[in-house]
A and B are shown apart, each in its own frame.
Chain A
Amino acid sequence: MFLRRLYQFMIVYGLGLLMLMGIKALFGLSDYVIPGPGEIWQTARQVFGGYVLDVLNTLQVAILGHILSIAMAFAVGIVGRLTSWMGSMIKTAAFNVQAYPIVAVAPIIFILLGDGFSSRLLIAAMICYFPLLLSILGILSEPVDDIEHFFKMTGRITWRLEVKIRAFQNLHKLTTVIVGSATLAVVGTIVAEFIAASAGIGVSIRRALYQSDLSKILTALFLIGICSSLYLACLEWAGRRLIRRWQAPGP
């Protein structure tokens, strides 16, 4: 799974590079605009160590933001699944707030919290929180009547059991949603770093952009791709393990 994710990314990245070289050749662009493969290689060797640390810093914030958003989405989703006014209010609020581009609020967060770790964490969490919340709300609000019936009939149903039944029955959907939102967490962190942060690979890309150094940007993109692919593969692997452990094989 890890290898598959990696070589899939390598193929996409390689095709992207080839396309850039094609554009360079087609339009006769100078090395200043699109550097040649040799120059990209030289730059990559120079900045590799620093960029690896930057990417790991970004990934660390993204993972924490992702975990935070999953926890928040489950907490709010559990309350929001209720058919009471509270549940309706949470659902309506979630649908309306998610329609707003959260990234536009990022400058306010930087003004209030500064350009440190907490701002990046909050933005990463917020960007992946709403899509996660909507999916989790949908899953936890949908009764699994043919399983819940017995527990309701015999007065055994509790909110924990209800959540457990619904989560279990939608384990595949939940893991897919969590894996999908991981990309959003990485995107959120990098966007935060583009805007105003003081650390992370987004900051390095911003600096490279000011220097118009495409080689550095391509190196950063390569490392971001590798790290996010590995993170997604880890989540997929954990999801599959969970499903295998919890669910019995078919008849």
Chain B
Amino acid sequence: MSIEYSQRESEAPQVRLLCRDLTYRYPHANHDLFKSLHVDIDGSGFHALFGPSGVGKTTLARLMADKLTGGSGKITTIGMTHILYTYNMERLPGWCSVGDHLHDITPSLRSADMAPLVGTFGIQDCLEAHFSQLSLGQRNRANLVRYLLQEFDLLIMDESLANVDERTRQLIILKLKQMFPTKAFLYISHNVVEVARFCRQILVLRGPRKDPRILDVQGLDCRDRQKPETDQLNRIVLEVMNVS
């Protein structure tokens, strides 16, 4: 039993990821984590995967990125060749400085993007330092920058900015929307206000006893720092909280 991964070209500049009948059970577990799950990530921009801890967000994300074996179902990508998955506990190798590492792993075609990303993420002062010398927030940012310098169509960010302060996080999300308008991001976060405000589509993964297991809520998809109307934001936040 295994998940069937397939890829289709898209005529329009459209990206889409479809999961059909996704069933997954961890080895030695008594119950399926998901059963016949359908997920549709449609279009570029910020999508969120939201849900309580332990509900299977990371597992679902890893299945999408083809990082887990086992399970069954079908995952089809349309117009997506490169799916990257990053999480907040990742570390950079310790034998070189952050700057040297970024230079080493940046493809020559993307080297022009390095300076603006480093500036937006506020890690200019960390380039000479080694990863172990950075704060948790700086580590998260340095890690995310190196993923953004790679070729990708969908970047799954599993709590990748968990240790970054709210203001910087917002700045980063807005800058990513501006810099990568044709790319898709799947943002896994526990910050309901943030996902309601900045994401276009919020996939709410619910507990194993709830049916359906996943629900789709439309977010505000804000593209600037201007605060959205409170009523509108509250309505989405409540909707997400109610369905989760």
- Residues of A that sit less than 8 Å from B by CB: 146-147, 149-150, 153-154, 156, 164-165, 168-169, 246-251
Q: Which residue of A lies closest to B129 (CB)?
A: A248
- What are 6 A-B residue pairs whose CB atoms fall within 8 Å in the complex? A146-B89, A153-B67, A153-B84, A168-B94, A247-B95, A250-B133
- Give the number of residue pairs across the A-B interface with Cβ within 8 Å: 54
B95 touches A168 (CB 8 A): yes
Instruction: Given A168-B95, A250-B133, A251-B132, decide whether A154 and B90 contact each other with a Cβ distance below 8 A.
Output: no
Q: Is the interface of A mostly helix, strand, loop or mixed?
A: helix
B90 touches A149 (CB 8 A): yes
A147 touches B92 (CB 8 A): yes
- B residues 78-135 near A (Cβ < 8 Å) are 84-87, 89-95, 97, 105, 129-135
A146 touches B90 (CB 8 A): yes
B150 touches A154 (CB 8 A): yes
A146 touches B91 (CB 8 A): yes
Instruction: Given A150-B147, A154-B84, decide whether A251 and B90 contact each other with a Cβ distance below 8 A.
Output: no
Instruction: Given A165-B93, A246-B95, A247-B94, decide whether A150 and B146 contact each other with a Cβ distance below 8 A.
Output: yes
B130 in complex: contacting residue of A149, A164, A165, A248, CB < 8 Å: A248
A147 touches B90 (CB 8 A): yes
Q: Please name all residues of chain A whose beta carbon is closer than 8 Å to the beta carbon of B134 when the two chains form the complex.
A: 251
- Residues of B that sit less than 8 Å from A by CB: 65, 67, 84-87, 89-95, 97, 105, 129-135, 143, 146-147, 150
Q: Which residue of A lies closest to B94 (CB)?
A: A247
Q: Which residue of B lies closest to A245 (CB)?
A: B95
Q: Please name all residues of chain A whose beta carbon is closer than 8 Å to the beta carbon of B143 when the two chains form the complex.
A: 150
Q: Please name all residues of chain B whose beta carbon is closer than 8 Å to the beta carbon of A154 when the two chains form the complex.
A: 84, 105, 150
Interface centre among B89, B91, B143, B147 (most CB of A within 10 A): B91
Q: How far is the CA of A169 from the CA of B86 in the complex (A)?
A: 20
Q: Please name all residues of chain A whose beta carbon is closer than 8 Å to the beta carbon of B133 when the two chains form the complex.
A: 248-251
Instruction: Given A249-B133, A251-B133, decide whether A147 and B91 contact each other with a Cβ distance below 8 A.
Output: yes
* 5 residue pairs, one from A and one from B, having the closest CB atoms: A248-B130, A146-B91, A251-B133, A147-B91, A146-B90
Q: Please name all residues of chain B whose beta carbon is closer than 8 Å to the beta carbon of A165 when the two chains form the complex.
A: 93
Q: How far is the CA of A147 from the CA of B142 in the complex (A)?
A: 13
A28 to chain B, nearest CB (A): 63
Instruction: Given A156-B105, A248-B129, A251-B135, decide whether A150 and B90 contact each other with a Cβ distance below 8 A.
Output: yes
Q: Please name all residues of chain A whose beta carbon is closer than 8 Å to the beta carbon of B105 when the two chains form the complex.
A: 150, 154, 156
Q: Which residue of A lies closest to B107 (CB)?
A: A154
B146 to chain A, nearest CB (A): 7
